[in-house]
Chain A
Amino acid sequence: MSETPIRVLVAKPGLDGHDRGAKVVARAMRDAGMEVIYTGIRQTPEMIAEAALQEDVDVVGLSILSGAHLELFPRITEMLREKGKDDVLLVAGGIIPDEDIPQLEAMGFTGVFGPGTNTNDLVKFVQNEMAQRKTKAEG
């Protein structure tokens, strides 16, 4: 029997409308054999947390270019925790200054990927993280 595909939610919180990057990432993950729930632009933290919960995803990928990440991301992680959905791998992309990365990591984001990221690197990162979690869970 083949492995269960990794389930990913790709969403864009906030009000910027630039979703090309998110779509490229969604497509790359699809091509790597993952199941990608794509909810697109203008997602509120509530919508993202609810979708992650109902879809029971393994990974939440957030793309943001507006600069509101330090405002919106903590609300998303907080809501996920409230709902008991605290086991997801959190990955962020978009325009995120390097000096903000430690703060995002403290919130629970494991990977932060800026412009110019090779989609293969992103896919490998997610696959490796998921494999590590699996061995830990089974270990």
Chain B
Amino acid sequence: MNSKFISQIQNGEPLAVARALTRVERGGDDARNLIRALFPYTGRADIIGITGAPGTGKSTLVNALAKELCAREKRVAIIAVDPSSPFTGGAILGDRFRMQDLAGTGIFIRSMASRGQLGGLAAAVSDAILVLDAAGFDVILVETVGAGQGEVDIAKHAHTTIVLEAPGFGDDIQAIKAGILEIADILVVNKADRDGANATVAALQMNLSLNPDKRAWRPPVLKTIALQGKGMSELADAIAKHKTYTNENHLRVKKEAARFDDELRELLKRELLGKKLQNVSDARWQNWIDEIITRKRDLYAIAEEILNA
């Protein structure tokens, strides 16, 4: 690995950082060697996840929050994930469109396509976080794809997870459902100038008051109007408060452990799959699929054959 390239990344030089991100997105040996070289310099950045349904205002909130954090003298980087087409693999990455205010501020924005990964992120997000961490950014904001109820992967990567709601997106039954609301460290009701904002806040508060563990962190429910930058100071304060709480209760280390536990398992899955399939021709694979659809053999039998090969 070229040591000049590594030090350029560590110095946060935009061209080097951008090329490093491309490299981890492409994967393979180049990505592996790069991460190996950068890994000792990681572990300092605060990773903040932002998730919520499409149209709740995630990108607009990231834009406003990044400005607020910048004003607090933080060096901010943003990873914004949008979905890839399941049919063509193409994508429209439109989050940056809502972050025009950040041009020329030194804030580094990178758009990523999910490239087939479920769970609301892209497979390369964990490595991209490491690159930006090594590049010396204080805060890395990670915006997920527009999430449904079950895209909860962000909580495994982030030190603090912000879940966005908007008025009119659901009633008090939605509020007690399992899934995305459970991963929130901070709940935000954005577009709070719209009808029904207070009802949404009340439904979320009611649900939180039912949490059995009263000593645990209780996520604050904040109202924001991201388009006007309203509520960002309170949001930045809540993030700082959550950081203090996680540090005092040694939760940051636990979160890191959970994050790398998950990443190691994911990495092993990918590597093992790659190893097992590297000598399998397309024709052979197609033959297996044919055997399955004609009901000659079942999936377990084929899987066993591959594993024992």
List chain A residues, Cβ under 8 A from B43: none
**B115 CB contacts on chain A under 8 angstroms:** 5
Q: Are A54 and B93 closer than 8 Å at their CB atoms?
A: no
Cβ-based interface call for B96 (8 A):
yes
| Residue A65 interfacial (CB < 8 Å) | no
Known contacts: A55-B111, A84-B15, A85-B15. The answer to whether A30 contacts B90 by CB under 8 A is yes
- Residues on A with beta carbons closer than 8 Å to the beta carbon of B33: none
Task: Tell me, rounded to whole Å, the shortest Cβ–Cβ distance linking B250 to chain A.
Answer: 35
Q: In the bound complex, do residue A55 and residue B18 qualify as a contact, i.e. CB atoms below 8 Å apart?
A: yes
B25 contacts A4, C-beta separation under 8 Å: yes
- Given contacts A38-B97, A54-B14, A56-B19, are A47 and B103 in contact (CB under 8 A)? yes
Per-residue CB proximity of B108-128 to A under 8 Å, as 1/0?
A: 111101010000000000000
State how many angstroms separate the Cβ of B80 from the closest Cβ of chain A: 10
Quick check: is B308 within 8 A (CB to CB) of the other chain?
A: no
Q: Count of chain A residues with Cβ under 8 Å from any Cβ of B?
A: 29
Beyond A53-B15, A54-B108, A55-B111, whether A31 also contacts B90 by CB under 8 A is yes
A30's partner among B14, B92, B96 (CB-CB below 8 A) is: B92
Query: CB distance A32 to B90 under 8 Å?
Result: yes
**B72 → chain A closest CB, angstroms:** 22
Contact status A35-B113, CB under 8 Å:
yes
Q: Is the interface of A mostly helix, strand, loop or mixed?
A: mixed
Which residue on chain B has the smallest CB distance to residue A36?
Answer: B92
Q: State whether A38 and B94 are in contact (beta carbons under 8 Å apart), knowing that A50-B104, A54-B18, A85-B15 are contacts in the complex.
A: yes
Given contacts A37-B111, A39-B100, A53-B14, contact A4 B19 (CB under 8 A): no
Interfacial residues of chain A within 17-58, with CB under 8 A of chain B in the complex: 26-27, 29-40, 44, 46-47, 50-51, 53-56
Contact of A36 among B14, B22, B91, B110 (CB under 8 A): B91
A-B contact count (CB 8 A): 81
| Set of chain A residues within 8 Å of B89, measured between Cβ atoms | 2, 5, 33
Please indicate the chain B residues that have their CB under 8 angstroms from the CB of A27 in the complex.
Answer: 92
Across the interface, B88 reaches (CB within 8 A) one of A26, A30, A40, A44, namely A30
- Docked CA distance A123–B261 (Å): 42
Chain A residues with CB below 8 A from B15, complex form: 53, 83-85
CA distance A30 to B94 in the complex (A): 12
Bound Cα distance A56, B110 (Å): 9
What is the distance, in angstroms, from A52's C-beta to the closest C-beta of chain B? 9
Q: Does B85 contact A (CB under 8 A)?
A: yes
Complex CA–CA separation, A55 to B142 (angstroms): 15
Could you tell me if A50 and B103 are in contact, using CB atoms closer than 8 angstroms? yes
The reply to whether the CB of B26 lies closer than 8 angstroms to some CB of chain A is: yes
Contacts of B96 on A, CB cut-off 8 Å?
Answer: 37-39, 51, 55
Interface centre among B88, B93, B94 (most CB of A within 10 A): B93
User: Given A35-B113, A53-B15, A56-B22, does the pair A40, B97 have CB atoms closer than 8 Å?
Assistant: yes
**A33-B89, A35-B91, A54-B108 provided; 4 other pairs, C-beta below 8 A?**
A30-B90, A35-B113, A51-B96, A84-B15
The 3 closest A-B pairs by CB, nearest first: A30-B90, A56-B18, A47-B103
List residues of chain B with CB under 8 Å of any chain A CB.
14-15, 18-19, 21-22, 25-26, 84-85, 88-94, 96-97, 100, 103-104, 108-111, 113, 115
